[in-house]
Amino acid sequence: MHKKVEEIKERALAACAKADTLQDLTHARVRFLGKKGELTALLRSMGQLPAEERPKFGRLVNEVRDRLEERWQQKETELFEAEEQRRLLEERIDITLPGRQVARGSFHPLTQVINQAKEIFMGMGYQVVEGPEIEEDYYNFEALNIPPDHPARDMQDTFFITEELLLRSQTSPVQIHVMEKQQPPIRIIAPGKVYRADSADVTHSPMFHQIEGLVVDEGITFADLKGTLQLFAERMFGPETKTRFRPSYFPFTEPSAEVDVSCIMCRGKGCRVCQDTGWLEVLGSGLVDPRVLKKVGYDPEKVSGFAFGMGVERIAMLKYGIHDIRLLFENDIRFLSQFSN
Ligand SMILES: [Zn+2]
């Protein structure tokens, strides 16, 4: 049996030396040293020996096992290092290759205008708020001084969902939500999507964006409105921009005014874009009608306010010289990438 041990040892060492991958080495290990391996089997058959020889034989087998284990470990380290070396050589990186260009995205022109307006008004202490796009008739019309039979409802073709629910046709209902929750002083802008049953053409889209503004405090006058919008126009369209206020009508403001800016194309000299008037209409505005203030529980004797609203598409088209509103919604990358900054 001692001879058998020697013989297994020799074969095991030979197998170990022959293995040239980690996988081969593991296989050989299982064959000789595993639970069902040859050496283990030999140890189990020790019972056949006379009792006095068993300890000596046990020691011998264990010595051989230790010797083999040691050899295996050495070989494993060698193979592991060799494989790592090979991988490093294969994966060598050529640092002289030119880099791959990663295309950078950019903001949509409408987002750029909204972000710029936010920045301008936040600089004047305004908060940016949002409201729901599915709105109740009350918020979209009635609370804004537009009762069911009011002719102003004809000014807007509204998408009704039920008799009481609709897709908001303006961002003005956000004013009411804010005033219901907060007491003056209020200074907010509310950018967002609005919907009207218009078919799409060069200047119309059934979905577009507005930015609503509202200020309510003690002693707010028309002069505050003019100063605010003049500053906005200068920051949005350039420092030489002039503004002009024309009397107008909106149900929820009194008095009301349309606001024009001097044409940014011809600087007021007259061109095709401004139809030779030198002015471009960009905003609707006015002092908040006392009836609207009363409806949300404010005292119109104590506080007053102004409101304004602008179309984001209109401003973007003027600023970037875009002639067809539909281009803004076709998402053609070739078109949009012209406005990346
Ligand atoms: Zn012009």
CA of 270 to the centre of ligand 1 (A): 4
pTM value is 0.69
CA of 277 to the centre of ligand 1 (A): 7
CA of 162 to the centre of ligand 1 (A): 44
Q: Please report the pLDDT score of residue 50 as a whole number.
A: 84
Contact 73, 22 (CB under 8 A): no
Q: Please report the pLDDT score of residue 244 as a whole number.
A: 95
| CA distance linking residue 286 with residue 212, whole number of Å | 12
CA dihedral (75, 81, 84, 86) in degrees, to 10, reads -90
CA dihedral (64, 69, 70, 74) in degrees, to 10, reads 140
CA of 25 to the centre of ligand 1 (A): 85
Classified as helix, coil or strand, 255 is strand
| CA distance linking residue 157 with residue 207, whole number of Å | 12
CA of 319 to the centre of ligand 1 (A): 12
CA of 274 to the centre of ligand 1 (A): 4
* Sequence-separated contacts (24+) of 84-89 with Cβ below 8 Å: none
Q: Please report the pLDDT score of residue 192 as a whole number.
A: 96
CA of 263 to the centre of ligand 1 (A): 4
124 vs 19, 55, 121, 301, CA distance in Å?
78, 95, 5, 26
CA of 262 to the centre of ligand 1 (A): 8
CA of 264 to the centre of ligand 1 (A): 7
Q: Please report the pLDDT score of residue 156 as a whole number.
A: 65
Beta bridge partners of 306: 215, 287
CA of 261 to the centre of ligand 1 (A): 10
- Which of 139-175 are b and which e, b meaning 16 or more Cβ less than 10 Å from the residue's Cβ? bbbebbbbeeeeeebeebebeeeeeeebbbbbbbbbb
CA of 335 to the centre of ligand 1 (A): 24
CA of 336 to the centre of ligand 1 (A): 24
| CA distance linking residue 18 with residue 13, whole number of Å | 9
CA of 280 to the centre of ligand 1 (A): 8
CA of 242 to the centre of ligand 1 (A): 13
Residues in the chain: 341
pLDDT, block means (10 residues), the chain with 341 residues: 83 86 87 85 81 84 88 90 87 85 88 96 96 94 86 76 91 94 95 91 91 96 96 94 94 94 88 89 95 93 96 92 91 89 70
Residue 160 token pair = 């009704």
Distance of CA 235 to the CA centre of its chain: 26
Give the CATH superfamily of 109-339: Bira Bifunctional Protein; Domain 2 (3.30.930.10)
Q: Which of 144, 172, 168, 145 is nearest to 158 (CA)?
A: 168
CA of 317 to the centre of ligand 1 (A): 13
CA of 320 to the centre of ligand 1 (A): 14
